Amino acid sequence: MQLLEENSFGFVVDTKPDLIPACILEDFLYLGSQDSVNVDNINKYNITHILSIGIPSPPIEVDLVKTFIECLDLPETDLNQEILPLACEFMDEARQVGGRVLVHCNAGVSRSASLVIGYLIIKCDYDFQDAYNLVKSKRECIQPNAGFLKQLKDLKR
């Protein structure tokens, strides 16, 4: 197992505000950075659920269903053991009650994008390329790390 260097964060460093979440599935699934978790967006997009990956959501004074899943943005992080199943369950529960979920990590580039792609593959019957292309078309900056991409490509084979 590869160890983190002392100056490594285990995630993409977010260097500029990224305030607008991308709507991935109409009226249900949104993807963004931690900057997009704010009262204005929650009200504008009627967000009812927040799924925070690897970094807790910023404190906000709004009544939401929230969950946090620990996850380092490292190629050797195993998404399939607990991370992806927990994320899919949370997103599916939001969908079943007619909610809207905002999935975020620090920059909204690797971890959260990977889990949204995984959700599309597992719960919405997309193949990898179609799921990746959809998410990329809605949020151009996504760039899951190489280990996450390999795991996502191996789903449902």
Residues marked active site are found at 105
Rounded to whole angstroms, the Cα distance separating 95 from 99 reads: 5
User: If DSSP states are collapsed to H, E and C, what string results for the chain?
Assistant: CCCCCCCCCCCCCCCCCCCCCEEEECCCEEEECHHHCCHHHHHHCCCCEEEEECCCCCCCCCCCEEEEECCCCCCCCCHHHHHHHHHHHHHHHHHHCCCCEEEECCCCCCHHHHHHHHHHHHHHCCCHHHHHHHHHHHCCCCCCCHHHHHHHHCCCC
